[in-house]
Amino acid sequence: MSKKVRKRPRQSFSTVVSNNWFALKKVAHYTPGLFVLMFVEILLIELLAAAGAYFNYFLLNEVSAADGSFVRAAIIIGVMSVTMLALYGLDKWFWFVFNGVMSEKLHLKMHEELFRKAQQLDLACFDDPEFYNDFVWAMDESRTRALQVVQDTATFIGKLAGCTSLFGLMLSIDPLIAVVLLVSSVVSIVCESMANRLHYNREKEIRPLWRVNGYINRVFHLGDYAKEIRISDAEEMVMEQYADNNVKIIDCQFKYGRKYYLLYGLGFGMMELLTFYGTLLYMIFKLKAGVLEIGGFAAAIQVIWNIRWHLLGLVRRIINFPNHSLYIEKWREFLHFEPTVTGENTDLPPFESLELRNVSFSYEFSAHPKYRFREDPSSNECREALRNVNLTIRAGDKVAIVGYNGAGKTTLIKLMMRLYDPTEGVILYNGVDIREYDPAAYRKQIGTVFQDYRLFATSIAHNVMNGAYDGNAHRDTVLSALDKSDFTAKLETLPEGVDTHLTREFREDGTNLSGGEAQKVAIARVFAADHPIVIMDEPSSALDPMAEYQLNQSILHHTQDKTVVFISHRLSTTRIADTIYMFDRGQLVEQGSHEALLAQDGKYAEMFRLQSEKYEGSGADGDCG
């Protein structure tokens, strides 16, 4: 895993320029007003800072000159005052009002663009554990980075102008010092960039360790772990891990700290101080030798300090650009990422059949080569999630897909919904390869309740209508869908009915549903939309026996004219299907009706017997039959 702690990537100069240019263009495109004003504001403020040095210089010269005039000095001060009065007004308004408002506008536009893109991404991208780290983190950063690029560019130009003019002044005062300052600024650029690299490498190395501390933090603060901690000695165990991890963190910090010290604390720091005292002493000697007047001396010292100050700022800005570039690179990559699950045709004929022909699928090769799934954590031994599957589902069929954990049932559903494309083989909709259809249009044909369904923090009605709830027009649809999924009893206890907001995260009057209730809302989704095909992935897993029974009856009753695919490892749920497909380790091993499969006495029969034998002879039939 040495790949993990990779060194900071080297970027060519042109990459850095092109990435930063990209960010500048984005800001100029989304918020041109902000772009222009930010340049104006920053340039003015930078020039004011440089003017401060001139101000001191002229003023001190005037004060100490033999023929100095108080009136001229007062005029210098007056001009400076008026300039400050005006510029500070602009400055405050710009940063506190204009920039505040406009940068939010920029964030919105960038968010929107990114979200639209995320929405189109292949699901496979989300399977990759590195996806979140690599992309999301960088993208999030880019939101603030974009504006910083503008800011840094403007500041850089401003400081460069300021420095150049101050250098001009310095050259006229004492060329030797001007050269010394120039050399020291070059050295500081080198130091800063080396320090920056160290910093980057340290962060890279230390990040996994912080993640561990984050995990330990979660163990203590999440309710999930609370019970385990209270009834075992796990507290001591985790505290020990915490102590160990802290030692590792310190080691890492020491390692880089020492390097940093040699470079920065010792090298750079000493050079800075030497320059400072050296120039001071040099000027004193000049003063002693009588080459310099007092006024000239004081003024020169002021200019020297000002230049150092400006140079340091300039250097810091230069260092920022390669950093920005790293993040912007990810951002660009993301925006240019082409989804592989695509298709043109949005016009689908009414559903007749869905056929899987020689379909194989493995998670490893599904995604974009760069972000492919390295290892499917749930099935180490069986990399190929589906192997050579052939099956046909016709309109009106009631089909069950059964099998043990890890048999590939859920993967099959994801392929049927075209959340992934098969590694080999084809899936045909009415005989046409589904890759020819637009994924969104194709998915409209299928209503699915996922095993790991999610409800959103919005109203029940919006959750049922998948965000398309339009008040009264859809009210009846929602109510009847909730009725079909057996949610009505709970609905009646909610004062706001279908407008009740789910979760208390954002609304104090929101409702937290239990697992079973939430599942019913998720199921109502498929009733609300008129999908020809309905897929139920373990629809009753969170329900108690009574509710499970009622729900199954209800689902069957309300989907009579539809094509239904049930997935379950509870065979009690699936025996009602016309055709049962038994999967084992990614392969379709048996198919047929419940009776036919029992007669076949294969894997299905074995599985069914194991589940049912505990009911047999324990009263259910003994007492009554």
Partner 1 sequence: MAKKEKKKKEKDISTKRVASNTLFALNIVWESAPLYVIMYFFSTVWWGIMGFLSETYALRLVVNTAQTAQGIDSVIRFVVILGIVNILGNAGLNYFWQVPSWRETRKFTSHAEGMLFRKAAKVELACYENPKFYDKYVKAMNEIHNRIMRTFEATDGMLDKIISLTANSLLLFVIDPWLLVFAMLPMVFGIFKRKEVKALYDQEDAKKPVVRRVEYVRRTFYLGEYAKEMRVGSMWRLLLRDLVTCYEQIRDIIKKHGGRRALFGYIQQVGLEVFTILGATLYAVWRTMVTKDMLVGDCLVVLGSIGSISRSINNVIQNLADFREQAHFINDVRYFLDYEPAIADGDREMPAEPDTIEVRDLSFRYEGAEQDALKHINMSLHKGERIALVGANGSGKTTLVKMLLRLYDPSDGSVSLDGTDVRDLPVADYRGAFSSVFQDFKILSATVRQNVTLSTEKAEDEAIITALKEAGIYDKIAGFEKGIDTVLTREFDDKGENLSVGEAQKVSLARVFYRNTPFVILDEPSSALDPIAEYTMFENMMRATEGRGVIFISHRLSSAVLADRVLLMENGEITESGTHAELMEKNGTYAAMFRRQAENYLGSEVSGNE
User: Least distance from C-beta 44 to partner 1, angstroms?
Assistant: 15
Nearest-CA neighbor of 411 among 587, 591, 603, 589? 587
DSSP 8-state class, residue 569: S
Q: What is the strand order of the sheet 398-403 is part of?
A: 446-449, 533-537, 563-568, 398-403, 579-584, 587-592
Q: For partner 1, give the closer residue by CB, 107 or 332.
A: 107
From start to end of 342-436, where are the E strands? 353-362, 384-394, 398-403, 424-429, 432-433
User: Least distance from C-beta 113 to partner 1, angstroms?
Assistant: 11
| Displacement of CA 8 from its chain's centroid (Å) | 21
Q: Is beta strand 579-584 parallel, antiparallel or unpaired with respect to 587-592?
A: antiparallel
Q: For partner 1, give the closer residue by CB, 325 or 573.
A: 573
User: Least distance from C-beta 165 to partner 1, angstroms?
Assistant: 21
Q: For partner 1, give the closer residue by CB, 16 or 588.
A: 588
**Whole-angstrom Cα distance, residue 614 to residue 378?**
29
Q: For partner 1, give the closer residue by CB, 66 or 347.
A: 66
Q: Is beta strand 533-537 parallel, antiparallel or unpaired with respect to 353-362?
A: unpaired
User: Least distance from C-beta 566 to partner 1, angstroms?
Assistant: 13
Q: For partner 1, give the closer residue by CB, 18 or 340.
A: 340
Q: For partner 1, give the closer residue by CB, 96 or 179.
A: 96
Q: For partner 1, give the closer residue by CB, 16 or 449.
A: 449
User: Least distance from C-beta 62 to partner 1, angstroms?
Assistant: 8
| Side-chain-side CA neighbours of residue 269 (13 Å) | 7
| Side-chain-side CA neighbours of residue 25 (13 Å) | 8
For tokens 């020491």, what's the residue?
Answer: 254
User: Least distance from C-beta 482 to partner 1, angstroms?
Assistant: 16
**Whole-angstrom Cα distance, residue 409 to residue 417?**
13
Say if residues 378 and 409 touch (Cβ distance below 8 Å): no
Nearest-CA neighbor of 318 among 157, 171, 101? 157
Structure token pair of residue 125: 């991208």
Instruction: State whether the Cα torsion 479-480-483-484 is positive or negative.
Output: negative
Nearest-CA neighbor of 443 among 422, 414, 465, 470? 414
Say if residues 499 and 461 touch (Cβ distance below 8 Å): yes
Q: Is 3 exposed, middle or buried (0-12, 13-18, 19+ CB in 10 A)?
A: exposed
CA distances from 429 to 395, 447, 457, 518 (A): 11, 16, 34, 32
Q: For partner 1, give the closer residue by CB, 20 or 422.
A: 422
Q: For partner 1, give the closer residue by CB, 117 or 316.
A: 117
**Whole-angstrom Cα distance, residue 203 to residue 142?**
18
User: Least distance from C-beta 11 to partner 1, angstroms?
Assistant: 26
Instruction: State whether the Cα torsion 250-253-255-258 is positive or negative.
Output: negative
Say if residues 441 and 349 touch (Cβ distance below 8 Å): no
Q: For partner 1, give the closer residue by CB, 16 or 465.
A: 465
Q: For partner 1, give the closer residue by CB, 414 or 484.
A: 414
Q: For partner 1, give the closer residue by CB, 248 or 390.
A: 248
User: Least distance from C-beta 321 to partner 1, angstroms?
Assistant: 25
CA distances from 150 to 17, 118, 161, 335 (A): 13, 25, 17, 20
Q: What is the strand order of the sheet 384-394 is part of?
A: 384-394, 353-362, 424-429, 432-433
396: left (phi over 0), alpha (psi -120 to 50) or beta: left
Q: For partner 1, give the closer residue by CB, 468 or 596.
A: 468
**Whole-angstrom Cα distance, residue 446 to residue 331?**
33
Q: For partner 1, give the closer residue by CB, 153 or 184.
A: 184
- Alpha-carbon Rg for the chain in angstroms: 35
Q: For partner 1, give the closer residue by CB, 557 or 614.
A: 614
Say if residues 495 and 527 touch (Cβ distance below 8 Å): no
